[in-house]
Amino acid sequence: MIFAEEKGRTASEASAAAAPAPQASGVHEKRRSLKGKLSLIVALSIIPLVAMVLYLIISLVSYSNAYEEIVSNMTIANSYSLSFKEDMDESVYKLVVSGKSFDEVKDNPDENPYALIDDLRNDFTRLEVIKTDDKSRDWLSYLLRNIDTLEDRVDDIKANIDDGEGHYNENIDMVNNDIYILTELIQDNIQHYIYYQTESIEVLKDQLHQQVFIFIILFCIVLAALMAFLIPFVIRLIRNIMGPVSQVTTVTQKIAQGDFSARTKDIHTKDEIEVLADNVNTMAGSLDVMVTQIHDDETKMRHAELRLLQEQINPHFLYNTLDTIVWLIEGGKEEEAEDVVVSLSNFFRQVLSHGREYITISDETKHIRSYLEIQKVRYRDILNYEIDIDPELDNYEILKLSLQPIVENSLYHGIKYKRGVGTVKVTGRKDGERIVLKVSDDGVGMKNDELIRLREEIGRPCKDTETGFGLANVNERIRMNFGSEYGMTIDSVENEGTEVTLVIPAIPYSKDDKDGEGGQDEKEKQNI
């Protein structure tokens, strides 16, 4: 929301810069400069020139209004794209797990899902009424239908809560299978709407270029007619007008080709051309700011999405571990149960890591060791493991949850289906300016066609993967944060095992530089 507000202010400033007020001043100065220099014929020739100026002003005003409308629409859409899903999911989930009734939160818009839905529906219903392109209108229709469906599912949850106890599991299932999916669809609808609004800006840009081109042609025609009567004046007009016009034409062509850094320079003609040049410069600057901000928005949203995905914890792992602890206690193995509890505590401590996305390789090693210790209790008859990571790497940085999904994949898809005992081995070495981490197993391995499909899957964005989601998530996060030259490779031989290699840059860990939260840990320690 904060980012969207900042963007809105930037866009407003850009729009204000593009306002047509200077144009009127430019026209007035031109009339004063021509007064007393032209004869009656020149005075009569002003009529078509004035008509052209009015045409240009009207065109620019029309573009400015359309541009401001699109900016306003995108600002509203961006604010919901960044916050609605998270706010909605959280409000419904809290109502289900807290046992509160809907009447208790109806006066709190941050906790009342109906208030969130009404705000979203009202804003996007208004956007649907506004004249816009067909594709944007289609996505708005999809969005409003999904809002109605979302409200129906909230009604179902409300009915269960009002009915009393006994519906908790049903409500949780509806939250996981209905609410989360619908909010994800709504967010996707909003992003498509923003995309087509961006395309509308490109259309407006082309239209402006055409208007400028038409203006130049008409201007040249008028000048050609005047030259037949006023040769001495034509020479001066050519010198004072054609040069700036040529520069504006060149700049608009560059803008049309996507070069938003192009600007007109040293145009001080005190007429419509100067106004046009200023407006072209303002337009180019506004488009540059908007395109950059849209790109930054998409990048930040993608980072937020990936951070959210990596924080998700499989509840089945927790349930199974707790069942194991109960089983050990009932079997009189209190010491082993205590070890599992300690490992589970260390596991979740590393998962949370005070919200940091970057941790040390030492912490990541502790994390996978805790995970394997827990799993070794469950699979004691089939699982062995080895961790051989060079101590030199302990204080180098790594993205949190980089190795654990790979180790988990080795266990569940390699060792689990092997007859007899299997071994998961984790190694790490420094290779020049790179760190090479490997997770290997002697499990069932993969057929060649399965290996090819898995390699293809991990090369895609994780949201588009059908299998290997955890591996794809790790690979995408590494490439996004460190570059495409880093990432994951997989080798496997059927009935022999699988080896996953992770390559990251060798960067010493600095807590103060990570995620803008470096000092947070120290503050928390002081508060404790």
Say how far apart CA 386 and CA 411 lie, in whole Å. Answer: 13
Give the residue, 140 or 464, on which the prediction is more confident: 140
Alpha helices in 99-179 (DSSP H): 102-105, 113-129, 134-163, 168-174
235-247 pLDDT tens trace: 666 666 677 778 8
**pLDDT for residue 430 is more than 80:** yes
Q: What is the pLDDT of residue 519?
A: 41
Round to whole Å and give the CA distance between 9 and 289. Answer: 12
Inform me whether the pLDDT recorded for 439 exceeds 90. yes
**Beta bridge partners of residue 293, listed in sequence order:** none
pLDDT band at 524 (very low <50, low <70, confident <90, very high): very low
Residue 341 pLDDT exceeds 90: no
Q: Identify the residue with better confidence: 514 or 396.
A: 396
> pTM score > 0.75 for this model?
no
Give backbone dihedrals phi and psi of 485, rounded to 5 degrees, phi first. -75, -10
Q: Residue 397 has what pLDDT?
A: 93
Residue range 245-304, pLDDT digits in tens: 788 788 888 888 877 788 887 777 666 667 777 888 888 788 888 888 777 756 754 564
Classified as helix, coil or strand, 230 is coil
- Cα-Cα-Cα-Cα torsion 329, 334, 340, 346, nearest 10 degrees, comes to 120
pLDDT (0 to 100) of residue 231: 66
Q: Which tokens hold the place of 239?
A: 């010198």
- What are the beta bridge partners of residue 430? 435
Give the list of residues 6+ apart from residue 239 with CB closer than 8 angstroms, or none: none
Average pLDDT, integer, range 69-77: 77
Mean of the per-residue pLDDT values of the chain: 75
Both structure tokens of 322: 């707790």
- Say what percent of the chain tops pLDDT 70: 73
Q: Residue 527: pLDDT above 60? A: no
User: Phi, psi at residue 424, to the nearest 5°?
Assistant: -105, 125
The mean per-residue pLDDT over the stretch 344-359 comes to: 68
**Which of 99, 77, 82, 95 is CA-nearest to residue 153?**
95
**Region 48-53 average pLDDT:** 70
Neighbouring CB atoms inside 10 A of 466's CB total 9
pLDDT at residue 433 in the model: 94
With 0-12 / 13-18 / 19 or more C-beta atoms within 10 angstroms meaning exposed / middle / buried, residue 528 is exposed
| Six-digit token string for 178 | 């209905």
Among 69-78, 145-154, 248-257, 462-471, the minimum mean pLDDT is found in 462-471
Question: Where does the pLDDT of residue 129 fall: very low under 50, low under 70, confident under 90, or very high at 90 and above?
Answer: low
Report which of 372, 365, 369 is spatially closest to residue 321, judged by C-alpha positions: 372
* 74's tokens: 């995108």
pLDDT digits (tens, 9 = 90+) for 463-505: 666 566 678 888 888 888 888 899 999 999 999 999 999 999 9
**Strands, E assignment, 252-374:** 358-360
Q: Tell me the average pLDDT across 97-123.
A: 79
| Neighbour count for residue 29 (Cβ, 10 Å) | 15
The residue-averaged pLDDT of 221-246 equals 68
Which tops the pLDDT comparison, 146 or 503? 503
**Rounded mean pLDDT, 117-139:** 77
| Rounded CA separation 130/370 (Å) | 56
Token output for 522: 């120290």
Core vs surface per residue 424-439: b (16+ CB within 10 A) or e? bbbbbeeeeeebbbbb
Q: How do strand 422-431 and strand 383-389 relate by DSSP bridges?
A: parallel
pLDDT at 174 over 50: yes
Instruction: Please tell me which residue, 119 or 439, carries the higher pLDDT value.
Output: 439
For residue 431, name the pLDDT band (cuts at 50, 70, 90).
very high
